[in-house]
Structure 1
Amino acid sequence: MTRNYIAYASGHYEDELPLSNSFVLHPPRSIRILKHLFTMIPADIPGDSPIEEVRNAVPVTDDSTLPVLTIRTWVLGPVVCVVTSFMYQISSYRRSHMWVSESCAQILQLVLGRLMASTLPAKIVGIPGTNWKFSLNPGPFNIKEHVLVVILSTTGFESTKSIGTINVIKVVYHKNISVWASILMIVTSQMIGYGFAGLFRRILVDNPYMWYPLTVPKVSFYRALHEKEPRASGRLSGLQIIVICAVSVFTYTIVPTYFMQTILVVSVLCWIWKDSSTAHQLGAGYNGLGLGSLAIEWDSAAAWVGNPLILPRFTIVNTLVGFVGITYVCIPVAYWMNLFDAKRFPIFAQESYDYSGNKYNVERVFGKDLEFNEQAYSEYSQLYMSIAYVFKLGFTFAALTGTLTYFLLFHGRESWQQLNQSMKSESKSSDIHNELMKKYEPIPRWWFYAIIVSMVGLGIVNCQFFGKEFQLPTWAFLLSLAIPFILILPLGIIEATTGTYLGLSVLADLIIGYLYPGRPITSDTFPSYVQSTKIHAITFLAEFKLGHYMKIPPRSMFLVQIFGSLLSSSVKLGTAWWALTTVENICDRDKLPKGSMWTCPGLQQSLTHTMIWGGVGPAQMFRRGAYEGLYYFFLVGVAGPLAVWLAARAFPGKEWIRLVNFPVIFTSASFLMPARPVHYWTFFAVAAAYHLVARRAARGWWARHVYDVSNGLDLGSAFFGVLLALSFGVSQIAGPKWWGRDFDEFCPLSMCPTAPGVVHKKCPVF
């Protein structure tokens, strides 16, 4: 499972992953492997893997003499982990994301590792006071060492959902939470997931039928980096292309992020019809439907929806269908029919509103202890949302049931057969990779038991002493662990056999919303534990499978994963505390200076979300309130994949029918906010330029180097983001003053209501 969870850098939920990680079996990540490096392993090797893809990609040999926990591991891994953790946490507060893919980290660590191997002396150094000694240069930078360094460094990519809860408490509700409560919440939510993973490791890692489709391409990519690649004279190598692209995008990115932020969202319709509310609603790329909008920047194309260069074409088409369906069919039809009183509020916004069209006054219905007052709620106003947010919620419901239905119909029988095979073969036979791993010391099971017992104990202590600060009683904490514990095995089987990802946030929201309504912070804390536990468990297992394929000692894997997670979460918490206490008016768009980057786009919908699920509660909102019909989207989620399955069975010769992927369609629709229409259109524009133009004009070159170009663009953009944050961003230094410097789409009427008689500041009254 990949770690590039952009939704969580921005404070969102794991079922809102970039589409590049969702519902599709990805092609191998290095075309060069297919052309030059794949050594096809005969299927008749005794004890070889039963999975053809594994036989083709994973070597059946092992060099146990290669050093793994070297000085390079403990220098490069932590340094890059600190940088990426800081970068991702700062990114969650800024309007523009600083994004780097895992493959970029692989390239960077390869360059740094080989640099250390070529420059440091082979000197033996002893640690004072101990008998421990190590070499400053234990030899060439090897593939096993590379894998461990990348795993350690990319823990900064992981979601630390509990920090999102801290942001909600301090920024959205302006309450205090102690440092100790924060530390305990973060550590326990991570470590309990790792403990649970150890209980299922034999079935989900050691078993050859649990093969992880998203992990096998990583093996190919590592082999591509470490094995010799033939290159014709006069042609650029993959590494040279990466450097050229990185330098180019690094140089250009200063324009849209520092000198001319207006090109981050170019809304043409607003320029033509300056005084038309309808034109502004249709054309605003950020606060409208984005018709004709575009951003001239790589991050806008790749950091929100997915990478347009490497996603399969059918995934891009399904994403386009979902985006067009919600943005240009559902939303405008419902708005102009005034469903849910939509015209009283902006057409595209994340905030919550009262009936008069003003932002919802939380203090009128919640006391100092943030508990819901139903009488005050009935006397004041129901909670209302923009029509765009209503459909975002609806398609989120559809994505949950749609994914489950899709898996059961298209992959259920296959997964059940593989599970049966794995259970039968577990004690009778083993594949060659298990045989090769037997030479290394296994991890004792009591390590995982110790983690679970100690972390559950710390979590209970946290609830008893600090539970009021994050509104989580002990029984809710234990329930938040029981849900992922029950579902880790089936979800792990789904991911290990099909590569399909299933999120739990909607399920967690519904459960706690009905069991413990009237407490908004609980609706963030409870799903935080559910999601974090599940994500860390399955990520831990997927990385162990990578180590299994690469023949890395299990105890070394365990040590690196635990250390990297603790280091990353510490840096993220420190960064969050610094930003929340030193940046004046952080996340408050009304008080921040014009053009400020500290707008916290990921937190803009947190008030609405926590009010819906934990404040007012789902019973009030969806069963007795203004949005009682929204639960029908659960049935829509079932109907979509079912229709495709029936059509595929009725017309078995029509292969294109199976390419209609409703989980991708629903998820692309539900990912609106934090992603905006301008991000979608920029994504589609780049995808069209590649798939329809460049791929046809230079098919051979692009087949060899598309991943190199993508990695280079990501790398340059990410490095510039870190530089900007550490220099100008920290000191609040803005660019030169002129009309194009500040972020402005020049669509002021896009946020105006159009219902008769609704008065809104700086808006016409209809």
Structure 2
Amino acid sequence: MEKAKDDQMDYSKEMDNAKDQIENAKGVEEEINDSPIEQVRLTVPIKDDPTLPTLTFRTWVLGATSCALLSFVNRFFDYRQNPIGISSLCVQIAALPIGKLMAATLPTKSIRIPGIKWTFSLNPGPFNMKEHVLITILAHSAGSPYALAAVSVVKAFYHRGINPLVAMLLTQTSQLMGYGCAGVLMKFLVDNPYMWWPSTLLDVSLYRALHEDEVRSKGQLTRLQFFLIALISSFAYAVIPNYFFPSISVLSFVCWIWKDSVTAQQIGSGRFGLGIGSFGLDWSTIAGYTGSPFATPGSTLLNFMAGFIVVVYIMNPVLYWNNIMGAKKFPIFTSHLFDSDGQIYNISRVLDAKTFSFNQQGYDEYSPIYLSTFYAFCYGLRFAACSSTLTYVAFFHGSTILRHYKDAFHGKNQSGDVHNRLMKKYERVPQWWFLSILVSMIILSVITCSGFGEQLQLPYWGLILACGMGMIFIIPVSVMVATTNQGRLPAEIHELMVGYLFPGKPLASLTYKVYSYISLAHAVEFIVDFKIAHYMKIPPKSIFFTQVGGTVISSTVNFFTAWWLLTSVPNICDQSKLPKGSPWTCASYNTFYDSTLVWGVMGPGKMFAPHGQYSKMYYFFIFGAIAPILVWVVSRKFPKKKWIKLICPPLILSAATHMPPATPVNIWSWLTLGILFNIILYRKYKAWWARYTYILSAGLDAGTAFVGILLYLAIQSRGTYGPSWWGLEFSDHCPLAHCPTAPGIEVQGCPIFH
């Protein structure tokens, strides 16, 4: 009897185990049938209506108009003292009522194009979500081409002439080259369901909230109602930090208590110190440098926080208060360049005004160039993050990328999630279309650089090297952004290379960076749009024509706007010659100019070569390359400990590389809100999180954007920035935080230490 009971118990256990296996198998099957990523399953619809029209008259009229208008306005304001950008989010919201109005009023009769058999209707039916997506993507093409920053620096800062055809070709080719690279990589960066691009879910949520009919449950709000409440609330509140109380953007209470202590203000300042006890009550403070915290996965936030704490609160204090590399001569947190006396570096003493080249004699007579120790350490971390990204993607994602590359080469698609199956209904874009754009843009770029008297200082082999370097980093950087929503573009690698290859040639530095770093940045932006279209089931050929058209329109309007301003505004960007009160100070282009001086005129050899002050920073390349390999080895040795695989060295190393210009208060505010929503609320209130989180982010973005535009156009453009009082300053009121503490260093407004 006991044996029978034992057998029965064993049989029952086996049945329970079998049931568990069946349920687990069902769960896996459901994930494969939908998406392997939970956030995608909670956000992206798994249905499609292939009968909906896409490239309609409404799409082209609203999209092209929005693209041209945003390109003109954003480029116009780029040259002013207070540059303001209008994002495609504004178009995303405004296009809905206009599209519905067009659907209600335009005639439905078909129109035949003279000379050919093509016909189209002004009004093919109700305004639909796919049209809305394409309009927004067209508007999103109205980015700011980096090539025009190079053109502006040449004309307005170096006061050198440049052929307008060269400038136009530089603008168009750099934009379209990135598009060609993005299209070639669609198979394993868009079709792959594990490349889920977290930021795209914000857009998907907003489209669904604006278009889908939703029955409100008792005691709940629909997503559209929630979005409108978030937008109105954000709009109403944003008036405070943008007009009445700008100081609320950064609150540093430690400085208010210890008003006369340099050390206390270095510790407590959120803008110029360690930011302990500081926080910001402004959405732009939270999302201004690292994007919306709601779009960043919890594991990414934890990796980011670990790196931030180690660098800012362990390494920086150790380096500074032990006076490593003369740290106390300079502020504890700054990106400025300094001379040996701790003063701001006078770049005019080492630059030959006639030839615009480096003056070695002036440099020898003046001073070597110095960075604050924290900023120098951040350069090392940037080097480490670059090499770490390559080895991390190779070891953790290399086999997957290789498999998808083989599948793409043989015309296969083994991803098999529901979104790929739904997209099979539509004809794919032939790869030769993208390859044709890529090859033709490279040829045109060679002509641009080598012809016209080599005005850009970059020979053809330098251009080919720039294109090759950009393509090397596209996959690893894209994989990082696609899986973590964070991934730093390796600008320093490109600046180092061109600085060593073409020393003393600032225009070559700018051009090389345009074709390497910026083409990569544009490629990532295009891939994000591809993924949104993939989730929203837009026919691939529709998105192709939309993006190509938007890129050409945007590049053309941007160029002509910039050229008009550069040739018609007297002394534009020259603050010493502009009349008092002139807004044409080009504040946003001074950084580009300084970059050409450091990397182009002086060259990295002055700081990072074996005889330079910061030569040891190169060891960070080795450290960064090894770190992911160590994590990979440990994860293989202990496969059951899944948390080990969540350790991401590139994220940890790049946590502090946003600073400066980002400050500790930006990062702390971003981390706090991200952890609250994407770890705590995600685990405890998943249904609420899935329903409202991304909608909340879109509402905060939209409200902040609208109030910024409205205030500038209505009040601030006339020189009135708010009521005159203590809180009007965009400052955390820590004036001593930027002071050096080394004995004998004299800086205006700071005490002298002995």
Same fold, judged at TM 0.5 (above): yes
Partner of 1:80: 66
Conserved 8 A contact 1:246-1:716: yes
Q: CA deviation at 1:522?
A: 3.0
Per the normalisation by structure 2, the TM-score is 0.82
Partner of 1:69: 55
Shift in alpha-carbon separation, 1:329–1:182, aligned structure 2, 3 A: farther
Q: Which of 103, 126, 133 is 1:140 aligned to?
A: 126
Q: CA deviation at 1:758?
A: 1.8
Partner of 1:34: none
> Which amino acid in structure 1 is aligned with residue 243 of structure 2?
Y
Larger mean Cα displacement after TM superposition, 598-607 or 506-515: 598-607
Partner of 1:531: 517
Measured in 2, the distance between the counterparts of 1:745 and 1:587 equals: 29
Partner of 1:752: 739
Shift in alpha-carbon separation, 1:305–1:96, aligned structure 2, 3 A: farther
Conserved 8 A contact 2:338-2:345: yes
Measured in 1, the distance between the counterparts of 2:503 and 2:699 equals: 48
> Which amino acid in structure 1 is aligned with residue 150 of structure 2?
T
Per the normalisation by structure 1, the TM-score is 0.81
Q: How does 1:117-136 map to 2 (within 5 A)?
A: 117-122=103-108, 134-136=120-122
Conserved 8 A contact 2:487-2:651: no
Q: CA deviation at 1:300?
A: 0.6
Shift in alpha-carbon separation, 1:739–1:549, aligned structure 2, 3 A: closer
Shift in alpha-carbon separation, 1:464–1:289, aligned structure 2, 3 A: farther
Larger mean Cα displacement after TM superposition, 227-236 or 568-577: 568-577
> Which amino acid in structure 1 is aligned with residue 545 of structure 2?
L
Partner of 1:263: 248
Check if 1:560 corresponds to 2:546. Answer: yes
Q: How does 1:185-200 map to 2 (within 5 A)?
A: 185-197=170-182, 200=184
Q: CA deviation at 1:716?
A: 0.5
Conserved 8 A contact 1:191-1:452: no
> Which amino acid in structure 1 is aligned with residue 358 of structure 2?
F
Q: CA deviation at 1:366?
A: 1.9
Q: Which of 220, 235, 239 is 1:250 aligned to?
A: 235
Shift in alpha-carbon separation, 1:656–1:201, aligned structure 2, 3 A: closer
> Which amino acid in structure 2 is aligned with residue 355 of structure 1?
S
Shift in alpha-carbon separation, 1:749–1:720, aligned structure 2, 3 A: same
Q: Which of 304, 313, 325 is 1:328 aligned to?
A: 313
Q: Which of 289, 292, 309 is 1:307 aligned to?
A: 292
Check if 1:396 corresponds to 2:379. Answer: no
Q: CA deviation at 1:129?
A: 9.8
Conserved 8 A contact 2:289-2:662: yes
Measured in 1, the distance between the counterparts of 2:305 and 2:504 equals: 38
Q: Identical aligned pairs, as a percentage?
A: 39
Partner of 2:5: none
Measured in 1, the distance between the counterparts of 2:294 and 2:265 equals: 31
The secondary structure found in structure 1 opposite 2:752 is: coil
Q: CA deviation at 1:67?
A: 1.9
Q: How does 1:619-638 map to 2 (within 5 A)?
A: 619-622=605-608, 623-638=610-625
Q: How does 1:285-364 map to 2 (within 5 A)?
A: 285-364=270-349
Measured in 1, the distance between the counterparts of 2:226 and 2:636 equals: 45
Q: CA deviation at 1:152?
A: 0.8
> Which amino acid in structure 2 is aligned with residue 647 of structure 1?
V
How many pairs were matched up? 720
> Which amino acid in structure 2 is aligned with residue 317 of structure 1?
L
Conserved 8 A contact 2:571-2:577: no
Check if 1:373 corresponds to 2:359. Answer: yes
CA deviations 1:628-668 (Å, max 9, x no partner) are 11111112313432333333334333333333222112222
Q: CA deviation at 1:271?
A: 1.6
Q: CA deviation at 1:435?
A: 9.8
Q: CA deviation at 1:87?
A: 6.5
Conserved 8 A contact 1:104-1:711: no
Conserved 8 A contact 2:383-2:493: no
Measured in 2, the distance between the counterparts of 1:740 and 1:762 equals: 21
The secondary structure found in structure 2 opposite 1:748 is: coil
Partner of 1:240: 225
Conserved 8 A contact 2:423-2:539: no
Q: CA deviation at 1:519?
A: 2.5
For structure 2, which runs of at least 5 residues remain unmatched after alignment?
Answer: 1-25
Conserved 8 A contact 1:172-1:606: no
Conserved 8 A contact 2:504-2:601: yes
Conserved 8 A contact 2:389-2:650: yes
Partner of 2:462: 476
For structure 1, which runs of at least 5 residues remain unmatched after alignment?
Answer: 1-39
Shift in alpha-carbon separation, 1:144–1:645, aligned structure 2, 3 A: same
The secondary structure found in structure 1 opposite 2:313 is: helix
Measured in 1, the distance between the counterparts of 2:386 and 2:392 equals: 10
Partner of 2:139: 153
Partner of 1:35: none
> Which amino acid in structure 1 is aligned with residue 738 of structure 2?
M
Measured in 2, the distance between the counterparts of 1:423 and 1:493 equals: 19
Measured in 2, the distance between the counterparts of 1:430 and 1:702 equals: 27
Conserved 8 A contact 1:100-1:715: no
> Which amino acid in structure 2 is aligned with residue 620 of structure 1?
K
Shift in alpha-carbon separation, 1:541–1:332, aligned structure 2, 3 A: closer
> Which amino acid in structure 1 is aligned with residue 261 of structure 2?
S
Conserved 8 A contact 1:213-1:498: no
Partner of 1:13: none
> Which amino acid in structure 2 is aligned with residue 321 of structure 1?
A
Shift in alpha-carbon separation, 1:689–1:50, aligned structure 2, 3 A: closer
Q: CA deviation at 1:723?
A: 1.9
> Which amino acid in structure 2 is aligned with residue 410 of structure 1?
F
Larger mean Cα displacement after TM superposition, 56-65 or 470-479: 56-65
Q: Which of 197, 213, 232 is 2:196 aligned to?
A: 213
Larger mean Cα displacement after TM superposition, 407-416 or 486-495: 486-495
Measured in 2, the distance between the counterparts of 1:444 and 1:310 equals: 31
Conserved 8 A contact 1:148-1:557: yes
Shift in alpha-carbon separation, 1:324–1:466, aligned structure 2, 3 A: farther
Q: CA deviation at 1:402?
A: 1.6
Measured in 2, the distance between the counterparts of 1:405 and 1:765 equals: 47
RMSD (Å), alpha carbons? 4.3
Partner of 1:18: none
Check if 1:281 corresponds to 2:266. Answer: yes
Check if 1:672 corresponds to 2:655. Answer: no
Partner of 1:517: 503
Shift in alpha-carbon separation, 1:68–1:487, aligned structure 2, 3 A: same
Measured in 1, the distance between the counterparts of 2:350 and 2:219 equals: 71
Q: How does 1:521-670 map to 2 (within 5 A)?
A: 521-540=507-526, 543-544=529-530, 547=533, 552-573=538-559, 606=592, 609-622=595-608, 623-670=610-657
Partner of 1:506: 492
> Which amino acid in structure 1 is aligned with residue 368 of structure 2?
Q
> Which amino acid in structure 2 is aligned with residue 562 of structure 1?
V
Partner of 1:726: 713
Shift in alpha-carbon separation, 1:293–1:691, aligned structure 2, 3 A: same
CA deviations 1:343-382 (Å, max 9, x no partner) are 2222222221111222222222221332223333223211
Conserved 8 A contact 1:282-1:291: yes
Q: CA deviation at 1:390?
A: 0.9
Measured in 1, the distance between the counterparts of 2:413 and 2:218 equals: 53
Check if 1:412 corresponds to 2:395. Answer: no
Larger mean Cα displacement after TM superposition, 419-428 or 407-416: 419-428
Conserved 8 A contact 2:349-2:366: yes
> Which amino acid in structure 2 is aligned with residue 352 of structure 1?
L
CA deviations 1:279-329 (Å, max 9, x no partner) are 222222222222222222111112222323342222222222222222222
Q: CA deviation at 1:73?
A: 0.6
Shift in alpha-carbon separation, 1:238–1:496, aligned structure 2, 3 A: closer
Shift in alpha-carbon separation, 1:342–1:448, aligned structure 2, 3 A: same
Q: CA deviation at 1:551?
A: 5.4
Q: Which has the larger radius of gyration?
A: 2
